[in-house]
Amino acid sequence: MSKRSPLPPPPAPDMRINRERMVRDQIEGRGIRDPNVLQAMLAVKRHLFVTEALYALAYEDGAVPIGHGQTISQPYIVALMSELLEAGPGMRALEVGTGSGYQAAVLAAMGLTVFSVERIRDLFLATRELLQCLSVRNVHMKLDDGTLGMPEAAPFDRIIVTAGGPSVPPPLLEQLDDPGILVIPVGEQRRMQRLVRVIKDNGKMYKENKGEVVFVDLIGLHAW
């Protein structure tokens, strides 16, 4: 008698209704208007970037742990930072802190080519495999100190940093194209930051404070 093949695992739920509610209530409801951001947040299946046990929390109004002391940011914060980039299809973006890969996937869905740096090896390997399995294109990952940027791929039209440090790492400012926009949480105390947007234009830097936020620590040569 031949051995019966195991049944394939059931497909992951789509949860589109959850995403629609998330976009309507948490994102549009708080003033995010960029249609490219809204469409990307609706398209990317956020629950696939957390463990199956945490699917139910994926679309709630808060950050979700992903292991290694890291989190997937609150949906509104992902949308806000994406909108602050004022990014469009065809742009090149550097992401410091790949984490779960969700922010990178959102930027890729917006039509950007993303160069993402992650310092935690196990997280880097798991996220790279996940993005490949999900057929997320236009995301190029590197295992390294993100505060050094990715000079071999610079300059970048946009730079986004998904962890908080005491100041803006100088290498990132150097790798930001002119004109260009950088968004980063900055704070002199850990887990207490303000969201800062840096605009580079005609050789000058302009900084804007976009409100208080709480992010995990930015670790590296030019951070904590």
Q: Are 2 and 34 in contact (CB under 8 A)?
A: no
State yes or no: is 82 an active-site residue. Answer: no
Distance CA 159, CA 26 (A): 24
Q: Which of 73, 82, 100, 116 is catalytic?
A: 73
Beta bridge partners of 208: 197
Alpha carbon of 157 to those of 77, 115, 181, 182, 211: distances in Å?
Answer: 21, 11, 7, 9, 23
Q: Is 92 left (phi over 0), alpha (psi -120 to 50) or beta?
A: beta
In the Cβ-directed half-sphere of 27, how many Cα atoms lie within 13 Å? 29
How many Å apart are CA 102 and CA 99, to the nearest integer?
8
List strand residue ranges (DSSP E) for 20-61, in order.
none
Give the C-alpha separation, 127 to 49, whole Å: 8
What are the DSSP calls for 149-188, one per residue?
--GGG--EEEEEE-SBBSS--HHHHHHEEEEEEEEEEEEE
d(CA 91, CA 26): 27
Catalytic residue numbers? 73
